[in-house]
Amino acid sequence: MTTCVVTGGAGFIGSNLTERLLRMGRRVRVIDNFSSGRREHLAALRDRFGSHLEVLEGDIRDLPFLQAACRGAAYVFHQAAVPSVQRSVRDPLTSNEVNVQGTLNVFLAARDGGVRRVVSASSSSVYGESPELPKREGFAPQPISPYALTKLVGEEYARLFGSLYGLGVVSLRYFNVFGPRQDPTSEYAAVIPRFITRLLQGEPPTIYGDGEQTRDFTFIDNVIDANLRAAEAAGAAGQAFNIACGERFSLNELAARLNQIIGTAVAPRYEPARDGDIKHSLADISQARQVLGYEPAVGLGVGLERTVTWFSQVKAGV
């Protein structure tokens, strides 16, 4: 049976990926230090899949721990990170320790363990404020936050590990991922879970800036599909790919759509724009289509409806 390692496997993206791998009949080792990942995301999976799921509590900054975890694995899906732009602005040291040193450790452990391929989570933030849209992988990166810089360094390590050691690493530049299991309570929570939880409470969502900033929102199922394709696609190793829908929507449009889905009419509250946030984001996904065979199957409307349903059930205790 094929064994896969998922770092950050108790988090939002990691737990959804872990579930899909288990449903495919894979054996999964989850690595998580539970600083932001949630044990409850894995509890139901343990009950259903039993010994096919192994949960290893530990930190990716611990190289010997990672080396032991990667032995005998065919694939590593590296999702663990300190993910927030704003947190990285406040605390660049921790972001660097986890996202750079931790990622280097993951690649070393995968190399030493004979792993077939690593799929590593990168970010659209590496493009920075480049005014040209859509963003293409060939653009010169212009990171404007420590978080974005750490992701770019991770991509460079991925490329080097291919050329120096023959380790196949694929970097996926995620664009504004959303969906079930995303945490709305963190100070650094992503915009969609924050908006949904505020509106479900009848309270105004907060928009930083004028709300005309745009994002290429990407439902979680699309991201999971991209990870699975990147693990197998010929010719993908050593490259970075945009993972998105190729459409952009403003935060004002997002608030209006969510009001419509939830059945509310609550106007947003506007606050000053935040340091490190980019104004506009839109992906060119033609390279992912061509090399990975990636196609976003779930658009914004359906994705928002599914996400609202999930958060409504959580609120109701279902």
Provide the annotated active-site residues.
147
C-beta neighbour count of 275 within 10 angstroms = 11
Strand pairing report for 3-7 and 269-271: unpaired
**Cα-based distances in Å from 112 to 70, 115, 165, 239, 270:** 8, 8, 10, 21, 50
Strand pairing report for 75-78 and 53-57: unpaired
Query: Alpha-carbon dihedral of residues 82, 208, 275, 98, nearest 10 degrees?
Result: 0
Dihedral sign, Cα of residue 11, residue 12, residue 14, residue 16: positive
C-beta neighbour count of 166 within 10 angstroms = 9
Copy the structure tokens of residue 49.
């899949």
C-beta neighbour count of 104 within 10 angstroms = 18
Round to whole Å and give the CA distance between 219 and 165: 34
Q: Which one-letter DSSP state was computed for residue 50?
A: G
Instruction: Determine contact, residues 6/77, Cβ cutoff 8 Å.
Output: yes
Round to whole Å and give the CA distance between 231 and 254: 32
